[in-house]
Amino acid sequence: MTAAHDEDDGGDATPFQQPGDGLMVVRIVLLVAGLAAGLYGAWLLWEFPVVIIVRIAVWAGVGLALHDFVFAPLCAALGFTGRKLIRGRWWTPVTVAGLCTVVLGLLAIPVFAKPGLRPDNLTVLNRDYPLGLWVSIAVVWACVPIYYVIVRRLPVRQYEAVEREGADDVQGQPPPV
């Protein structure tokens, strides 16, 4: 996620001054305090030998690049394709199950093949992680049809229908007086 994850629209940076915004003092305090904390961290990093600083920077940079240019596009492509194949009420539980699967996969990385295992200490990494991962993923996906059945049995609530209407849904306007 490189330097573009701002939520303002358009090409300019978030406007720093907004008319009538009484939060200016709070914002300045946050910016100064944040800068001070960040610079302190940078100074602590600066104390490392250059080779270690490079390794730290590479670790952080590779994580960032993997997310922005591998993980996120893959998720977007999967979402785009999945949306074409899976319609209606199935899509919501499928996306939540997908998110849960991704999270389980990330948490399994350091334990799945037990890369940190040392033969002298069998109290660390002492579970069957492949079994745990597959069972937990199976439980997550088993919840998808259960959710679907429950939602199908529930009556469609009025506010749901209203909330899904776009701003251009203008039927049923009261007659002009």
- Phi, psi (5° rounding) for residue 12? -85, 160
**Which residue among 149, 167, 170, 177 contacts another protein (CB under 8 A)?**
167
What are the Cα distances from residue 72, in Å, to 64, 69, 137? 11, 6, 21
How many CB atoms within 10 Å of residue 93?
Answer: 20
The pattern of x and - marking residues 82 through 101 that bind another protein according to CB under 8 A reads: ------xx-xx--xx--xx-
Chain centre to alpha carbon of residue 13: 23
Instruction: Give residues 41-80 in contact with another protein (rule: CB under 8 A).
Output: 41-42, 44-45, 48, 52, 55-56, 59-61, 63-64, 67-68, 72, 75-76, 79-80
Asked if residues 108 and 155 have their Cβ atoms less than 8 Å apart, the reply is no
Q: Which is nearer to another protein, 115 or 176 (CB)?
A: 115
In the bound complex, what is the minimum distance in angstroms from residue 28's beta carbon to another protein?
8
Q: For 162, what's the count of Cα atoms within 13 Å in the CB-facing half-sphere?
A: 4
22 belongs to the binding site for another protein (CB under 8 A): no
Residue 173 engages another protein in binding (rule: CB under 8 A): no
Interface with another protein in residues 104-163 (CB under 8 A): 104, 106-111, 115-116, 118, 120-121, 123-127, 129, 131-133, 135-136, 140, 163
Binding residue count for another protein, defined by CB under 8 A: 90
Could you count the other beta carbons within 10 Å of the beta carbon of residue 139? 12
Question: Considering the rule CB under 8 A, would residue 28 count as an interface residue with another protein?
Answer: yes
Compare residues 169 and 174 and give the one whose CB is closer to another protein: 169
Q: Could you tell me if 104 and 137 are in contact, meaning their C-beta atoms sit under 8 angstroms apart?
A: yes
Q: Which two tokens stand for residue 76?
A: 């977007």
Nearer to another protein, 119 or 175 (CB): 119
